Amino acid sequence: MQATRHRGRGELTHDAAHGGKGGLVMAMVMEQQMFSIGEVSRMLDVESHTLRYWEKEFKDFIKPRRVSRKNRVYTEADIAVLRKIKELLTVELFTIAGARRQMYLRTASGF
């Protein structure tokens, strides 16, 4: 399984930080592994359209980033939430509304 890698960057120039002129640039680069909807679909054994539906129904919990207008990418944290949603729906047999309530309760209590 190949993951798509995306980087987030936060840069602070010495000039901007100190109001001076010079060439010192301090850069902090955070690297986080991101996964396409197809990759997540295969990982969770759930159809892509189901993931899109869950994204709508659980919008307070799942917020994939968009790398283009059409393409979503999911973090490992998003995938953990999706696993929990799948468990609530398929193992614990909650309805969508019931699973959403459980997610709110678990989030409020620290999961």
Question: Is there a domain that residue 95 lies in?
Answer: yes
Per-residue pLDDT at 10: 37
pLDDT in tens, 11-35: 333 344 444 444 433 333 346 799 9
pLDDT digits (tens, 9 = 90+) for 30-72: 467 999 999 999 999 999 999 999 999 999 999 999 888 889 8
Per the domain annotation, does 24 fall within a domain?
Answer: no
Closest CA to 62 of 51, 49, 46: 51
Q: What is the CATH number of the domain that holds 104?
A: 1.10.1660.10
Domain limits for position 102: 34-108
Task: Please give the angle made by the CA atoms of 55, 49 and 74, to the nearest 5 degrees.
Answer: 50
- Is residue 11 assigned to a domain? no
Residue predicted with more confidence, 59 or 4? 59
How much is the pTM?
Answer: 0.69
